[in-house]
């Protein structure tokens, strides 16, 4: 096969964001540096992708941080690992043509010589924004789908609760649970995000964990019949309060620990055993990137719902790769208003 080429002749250099120092806690802008480097030649049997959108995800703190996560930490000086969506600009691979739009683990850089192993999927639609392939029709949507559909399994009339409810995964999860017939209650920080949960995402109620009212009291009011299923995106004291209200046979899907600032030293907290035992409840963790067998089904549902208008994905868009270094802190400090993406 003759290699296909487009545009590369004019792009001789591009920018990358490198990890400069190992973050201590929330990654700061000064932990990164932006460098300009030559564009790699097209590798044999592979492809070059021009990233159009870079994803910013809470998990990046773990990927960049000290050892202890489910993958080895990024070496100092390496390109920051991230999900991204881009366009093939040169191909020497039989399965990919110039112009194909791909989602993968392409890193915070403008042009990438792609290892085909890092490609997640081809984006076949062009009637929905490509940026959504990183959010509501991407890994965030899949995380929501797996947690709600496979573990929480809300039934019609039951109460489903989700934390980080106005965020990328949380907002999608609440909408999916609504589509499955549940009464949906979101937990989020601040009155504006509570408003978004109800008015923008159609939840039945929202609880502000930052308000002066004790969270357990606010949850009792919002969930008078108890909590039948919970998508846990925070852990910590928020989830401690939720577990006090679970019903017999409740399902808890553990997806994130946004409320736990550090796992070194391993923090202590309320014990869960009696809640689970008394209520004969299930609590199950999962990692979306290891649920690859569920991606096609999830993506098919998410795309259909997004097209029908049943699933809304709010986006918080930063303009340009220069914004990347400070973006993880923005997310972890809760300043984002929806899925945080960087437009290139
Ligand atoms: N297991 C998986 O495969 C998987 C996949 C994707 C995401 N996740 C996890 O899901 C969670 C949400 O991810 P996302 O991408 O959708 O991000 P997001 O919700 O769009 O943004 C993160 C949110 O975390 C909340 N937060 C920050 N500090 C907090 C604290 N101390 N207590 C409570 N909430 C806090 C903030 O919302 P508020 O303003 O509401 O506080 C912030 O907006 C993260 O924990 C992430 O690691 C897991």
Q: Does ligand 1 have an atom closer than 6 angstroms to the CB of 164? A: yes
Q: Does ligand 1 have an atom closer than 6 angstroms to the CB of 168? A: yes
- Tell the residue nearest (CA) to atom 41 of ligand 1: 189
Contacts made by residues 114-123, CB under 8 angstroms, sequence distance 24+: 114/46, 114/47, 114/48, 114/49, 115/46, 116/45, 116/46, 116/47, 120/83, 120/295, 121/295, 121/299, 122/96, 123/85
Q: How far away, in angstroms, is 233 Cα from ligand 1 center?
A: 6
pLDDT of res. 8: 47
pLDDT tens across 27-67, in order? 999 999 999 999 988 989 999 999 999 999 999 998 998 76
Share of the chain above pLDDT 70, in %: 96
φ and ψ of 69, to 5 deg: -80, -170
Q: Do 251 and 151 form a contact (C-beta atoms < 8 A)?
A: yes
Residue 109 pairs with which residues in a beta bridge? 16
Q: Does ligand 1 have an atom closer than 6 angstroms to the CB of 258? A: yes
Q: Do 171 and 313 form a contact (C-beta atoms < 8 A)?
A: yes
Nearest to 111 by CA among 16, 46, 44, 32: 16
pLDDT tens across 257-316, in order? 999 988 888 999 999 999 999 999 999 999 999 999 999 999 999 999 999 999 999 999
- Tell the residue nearest (CA) to atom 30 of ligand 1: 259
Q: Which atom of ligand 1 is nearest to the CA of 57?
A: 15
d(CA 120, CA 87): 13
Q: Which atom of ligand 1 is nearest to the CA of 336?
A: 43
Q: How far away, in angstroms, is 308 Cα from ligand 1 center?
A: 26
pLDDT tens across 58-113, in order? 999 989 987 666 677 899 999 999 999 999 999 999 999 999 999 999 999 999 99
If you search the block for the tokens 């852990």, which residue do you land on? 235
Q: Which atom of ligand 1 is nearest to the CA of 140?
A: 6
d(CA 55, CA 168): 11
- Examine the pLDDT at 184 and tell me if it is beyond 60: yes
pLDDT of res. 255: 98
pLDDT of res. 283: 98
11 or 148, greater pLDDT: 148
Contact residues for 60 (Cβ-Cβ < 8 A; gap 6+): 27, 80, 81, 82, 328
Q: Does ligand 1 have an atom closer than 6 angstroms to the CB of 166? A: yes
pLDDT of res. 67: 66
Range from 130-144, 236-250, 253-267, 317-331 carrying the lowest mean pLDDT: 253-267
Q: Which atom of ligand 1 is nearest to the CA of 187?
A: 40
- Examine the pLDDT at 2 and tell me if it is beyond 80: no
Cα–Cα distance list, 132 to 75, 89, 123, 302, 314 (Å): 29, 21, 10, 10, 9
Q: Which atom of ligand 1 is nearest to the CA of 236?
A: 32
DSSP string, 65-108: SSS-SSSPPPPTTSBPP--EEEEEEEE-STT--TT-EEEE---S
- Tell the residue nearest (CA) to atom 8 of ligand 1: 256
d(CA 84, CA 230): 29
Q: Give, for ligand 1, the residue of 215, 334, 336, 337 to mutate: max count of ligand atoms closer than 8 Å to Cβ.
A: 334
């Amino acid at each position: 096969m003759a290699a296909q080429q487009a545009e590369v002749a004019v792009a001789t250099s591009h920018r990358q964001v490198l990890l400069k120092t190992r973050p201590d806690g929330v990654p700061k802008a000064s932990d990164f540096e932006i460098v300009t480097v030559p564009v790699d030649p097209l590798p044999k049997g592979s492809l070059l992708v021009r990233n159009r959108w870079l994803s910013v995800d809470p998990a990046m703190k773990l990927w960049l941080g000290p050892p202890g996560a489910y993958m080895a930490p990024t070496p100092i000086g390496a390109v920051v690992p991230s999900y991204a969506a881009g366009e093939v600009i040169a191909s020497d691979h039989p399965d990919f043509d110039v112009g194909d739009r791909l989602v993968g683990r392409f890193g915070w850089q403008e042009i990438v010589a792609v290892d085909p192993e890092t490609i997640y999927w081809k984006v076949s639609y062009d009637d929905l924004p490509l940026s959504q392939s990183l959010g509501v029709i991407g890994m965030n949507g899949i995380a929501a789908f797996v947690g709600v559909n496979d573990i929480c399994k809300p039934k019609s009339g039951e109460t489903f609760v989700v934390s980080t409810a106005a965020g990328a995964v949380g907002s999608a999860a609440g909408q999916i649970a609504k589509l499955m017939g549940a009464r949906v209650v979101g937990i989020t920080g601040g009155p504006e995000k509570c408003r978004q949960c109800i008015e923008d995402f159609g939840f039945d109620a929202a609880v502000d964990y930052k308000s002066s009212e004790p969270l357990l009291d606010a949850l009792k009011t919002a969930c008078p019949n108890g909590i039948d299923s919970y998508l846990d995106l925070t852990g910590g004291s928020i989830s401690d309060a939720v577990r006090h209200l679970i019903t017999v046979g409740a399902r808890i899907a553990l997806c994130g620990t946004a409320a736990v600032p550090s796992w070194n030293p391993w923090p202590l907290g309320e014990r869960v055993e009696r809640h689970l035992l008394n209520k004969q409840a299930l609590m199950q963790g999962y990692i979306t990137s290891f649920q690859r067998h569920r991606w096609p089904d999830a993506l098919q549902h998410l795309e259909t719902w997004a097209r029908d208008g049943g699933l809304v994905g709010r986006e918080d868009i930063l303009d340009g790769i220069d914004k990347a270094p400070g973006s993880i802190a923005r997310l972890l400090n809760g300043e984002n208003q929806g899925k945080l993406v960087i437009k290139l």
